Protein backbone atom coordinates (compact mmCIF):
# COMPACT_ATOMS: atom_id res chain seq x y z
CA UNK A 1 0.00 0.00 0.00
CA UNK A 2 1.34 3.41 -0.97
CA UNK A 3 0.12 6.37 1.09
CA UNK A 4 -0.84 9.19 -1.29
CA UNK A 5 -2.27 11.89 0.96
CA UNK A 6 -4.88 12.74 3.57
CA UNK A 7 -8.47 13.88 3.86
CA UNK A 8 -8.38 17.34 5.42
CA UNK A 9 -11.99 18.56 5.56
CA UNK A 10 -15.49 18.04 4.22
CA UNK A 11 -16.41 20.03 1.13
CA UNK A 12 -20.05 21.00 0.75
CA UNK A 13 -23.00 18.93 1.94
CA UNK A 14 -23.06 16.05 -0.59
CA UNK A 15 -20.19 13.93 0.76
CA UNK A 16 -17.24 15.55 -1.01
CA UNK A 17 -13.90 15.80 0.85
CA UNK A 18 -10.87 18.09 0.55
CA UNK A 19 -7.51 16.39 -0.02
CA UNK A 20 -3.92 17.08 0.95
CA UNK A 21 -1.69 15.19 -1.49
CA UNK A 22 1.75 13.89 -0.52
CA UNK A 23 3.42 14.47 -3.86
CA UNK A 24 3.12 16.58 -6.94
CA UNK A 25 0.74 14.68 -9.26
CA UNK A 26 -2.62 14.16 -7.56
CA UNK A 27 -4.36 14.41 -10.95
CA UNK A 28 -3.08 10.89 -11.66
CA UNK A 29 -5.14 9.58 -8.73
CA UNK A 30 -8.28 10.00 -10.83
CA UNK A 31 -7.21 6.90 -12.75
CA UNK A 32 -7.26 4.79 -9.58
CA UNK A 33 -10.75 3.30 -9.37
CA UNK A 34 -10.58 2.39 -5.69
CA UNK A 35 -8.97 4.37 -2.89
CA UNK A 36 -8.16 2.93 0.51
CA UNK A 37 -8.59 5.04 3.66
CA UNK A 38 -7.32 4.46 7.16
CA UNK A 39 -6.28 6.23 10.35
CA UNK A 40 -2.79 4.69 10.63
CA UNK A 41 -0.23 5.17 7.86
CA UNK A 42 1.81 2.16 9.00
CA UNK A 43 -0.86 -0.48 9.80
CA UNK A 44 -3.06 -1.08 6.75
CA UNK A 45 -5.07 -3.94 8.23
CA UNK A 46 -8.01 -1.70 9.22
CA UNK A 47 -8.08 0.33 6.00
CA UNK A 48 -11.32 0.38 4.02
CA UNK A 49 -11.81 0.56 0.25
CA UNK A 50 -13.87 3.35 -1.32
CA UNK A 51 -14.59 3.42 -5.06
CA UNK A 52 -13.76 6.85 -6.50
CA UNK A 53 -16.78 8.56 -8.01
CA UNK A 54 -15.19 11.88 -8.98
CA UNK A 55 -12.19 14.10 -8.35
CA UNK A 56 -11.40 17.65 -9.41
CA UNK A 57 -9.42 20.79 -8.67
CA UNK A 58 -11.19 23.38 -6.59
CA UNK A 59 -9.19 26.60 -6.44
CA UNK A 60 -5.69 25.53 -5.44
CA UNK A 61 -6.77 22.31 -3.75
CA UNK A 62 -8.31 18.97 -4.70
CA UNK A 63 -11.71 17.60 -3.78
CA UNK A 64 -13.10 14.10 -4.27
CA UNK A 65 -16.37 12.22 -4.03
CA UNK A 66 -16.18 8.62 -2.83
CA UNK A 67 -19.03 6.16 -3.39
CA UNK A 68 -20.83 5.43 -0.14
CA UNK A 69 -20.09 8.85 1.37
CA UNK A 70 -23.35 10.66 0.71
CA UNK A 71 -23.47 13.65 3.06
CA UNK A 72 -21.41 16.06 5.12
CA UNK A 73 -21.54 13.80 8.19
CA UNK A 74 -20.01 10.96 6.19
CA UNK A 75 -17.31 13.30 4.86
CA UNK A 76 -16.58 14.63 8.35
CA UNK A 77 -16.03 11.07 9.56
CA UNK A 78 -13.17 10.74 7.05
CA UNK A 79 -11.25 13.85 8.11
CA UNK A 80 -7.71 12.94 9.10
CA UNK A 81 -7.78 9.59 7.28
CA UNK A 82 -4.83 8.68 5.09
CA UNK A 83 -5.49 7.90 1.43
CA UNK A 84 -3.63 5.06 -0.25
CA UNK A 85 -3.68 2.51 -3.01
CA UNK A 86 -1.86 -0.73 -3.75
CA UNK A 87 1.32 -0.18 -5.76
CA UNK A 88 -0.10 -2.22 -8.66
CA UNK A 89 -2.98 0.28 -9.03
CA UNK A 90 -0.68 3.30 -9.29
CA UNK A 91 0.66 4.79 -12.50
CA UNK A 92 4.25 3.94 -13.36
CA UNK A 93 6.73 6.65 -12.48
CA UNK A 94 8.80 8.42 -15.10
CA UNK A 95 12.59 8.43 -14.85
CA UNK A 96 13.63 10.63 -11.92
CA UNK A 97 10.12 10.40 -10.38
CA UNK A 98 9.55 8.51 -7.14
CA UNK A 99 6.77 7.64 -4.78
CA UNK A 100 7.67 8.76 -1.29
CA UNK A 101 7.40 5.16 -0.12
CA UNK A 102 10.29 4.30 -2.49
CA UNK A 103 12.54 6.84 -0.79
CA UNK A 104 11.91 5.77 2.80
CA UNK A 105 14.82 3.75 4.17
CA UNK A 106 17.31 4.72 1.47
CA UNK A 107 20.84 5.34 2.73
CA UNK A 108 21.86 8.95 2.10
CA UNK A 109 25.51 9.38 1.08
CA UNK A 110 27.25 12.69 0.38
CA UNK A 111 29.76 13.47 -2.39
CA UNK A 112 32.64 12.49 -0.09
CA UNK A 113 31.18 9.01 0.40
CA UNK A 114 30.09 9.70 4.00
CA UNK A 115 26.79 8.18 5.10
CA UNK A 116 24.45 10.78 6.57
CA UNK A 117 21.86 8.20 7.65
CA UNK A 118 18.63 6.92 6.16
CA UNK A 119 15.51 8.67 4.92
CA UNK A 120 13.15 8.31 7.88
CA UNK A 121 10.33 10.57 6.73
CA UNK A 122 9.31 13.11 4.10
CA UNK A 123 7.55 16.35 4.91
CA UNK A 124 5.64 18.49 2.42
CA UNK A 125 6.70 22.06 3.22
CA UNK A 126 4.74 23.87 0.53
CA UNK A 127 7.69 24.87 -1.65
CA UNK A 128 9.10 21.33 -1.91
CA UNK A 129 9.41 18.09 0.01
CA UNK A 130 11.90 17.89 2.86
CA UNK A 131 13.61 14.63 3.82
CA UNK A 132 14.23 13.75 7.44
CA UNK A 133 17.52 11.84 7.35
CA UNK A 134 18.18 10.00 10.62
CA UNK A 135 21.49 8.57 11.77
CA UNK A 136 21.94 6.57 14.97
CA UNK A 137 19.62 5.50 17.76
CA UNK A 138 18.27 6.94 21.01
CA UNK A 139 20.28 9.83 22.49
CA UNK A 140 22.88 9.49 19.74
CA UNK A 141 20.31 9.92 16.97
CA UNK A 142 20.99 12.85 14.66
CA UNK A 143 18.31 14.14 12.31
CA UNK A 144 19.09 16.30 9.32
CA UNK A 145 16.49 18.08 7.20
CA UNK A 146 17.44 18.03 3.51
CA UNK A 147 15.34 19.58 0.77
CA UNK A 148 14.33 17.10 -1.93
CA UNK A 149 15.44 19.30 -4.82
CA UNK A 150 17.84 18.79 -7.73
CA UNK A 151 20.50 21.06 -6.22
CA UNK A 152 20.81 18.68 -3.26
CA UNK A 153 19.72 15.26 -4.55
CA UNK A 154 22.17 14.17 -7.23
CA UNK A 155 21.20 10.52 -7.74
CA UNK A 156 18.56 8.11 -6.46
CA UNK A 157 19.21 4.40 -6.90
CA UNK A 158 16.16 2.68 -5.40
CA UNK A 159 17.24 -0.89 -6.30
CA UNK A 160 20.62 -0.31 -4.61
CA UNK A 161 18.98 1.48 -1.66
CA UNK A 162 21.17 4.59 -1.98
CA UNK A 163 20.62 8.31 -2.53
CA UNK A 164 23.60 10.53 -3.31
CA UNK A 165 23.41 14.14 -2.17
CA UNK A 166 25.41 17.36 -2.19
CA UNK A 167 25.29 17.93 1.58
CA UNK A 168 27.94 17.96 4.26
CA UNK A 169 27.57 16.22 7.61
CA UNK A 170 28.17 19.44 9.58
CA UNK A 171 25.50 21.49 7.80
* The predicted structure's pLDDT at residue 141: 93
* The predicted structure's pLDDT at residue 80: 97
Inter-residue contact 10 to 79 (CB < 8 Å): yes
pTM: 0.72
Query: Do 10 and 78 lie in a common domain?
Result: yes
The whole domain housing 117 covers 100-165
Evaluate whether residue 122 is within a structural domain: yes
Query: Do 78 and 46 lie in a common domain?
Result: yes
User: Using CA atoms, how far apart are residues 75 and 37, in angstroms rounded to an integer?
Assistant: 12
* Mean pLDDT for back-to-back runs of 10 residues, the chain (171 residues): 93 96 84 92 90 94 96 97 91 83 94 96 84 92 94 95 95 84
Inter-residue contact 16 to 64 (CB < 8 Å): yes
The domain tally of the chain equals 2
* The predicted structure's pLDDT at residue 91: 81
* The predicted structure's pLDDT at residue 54: 95
* The predicted structure's pLDDT at residue 95: 83
Amino acid sequence: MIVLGRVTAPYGVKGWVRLHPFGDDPASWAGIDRWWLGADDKDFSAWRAYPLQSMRMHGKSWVAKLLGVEDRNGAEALVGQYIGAPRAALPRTEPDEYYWADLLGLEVVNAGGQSLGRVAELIESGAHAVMVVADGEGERRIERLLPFVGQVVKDVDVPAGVMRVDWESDW
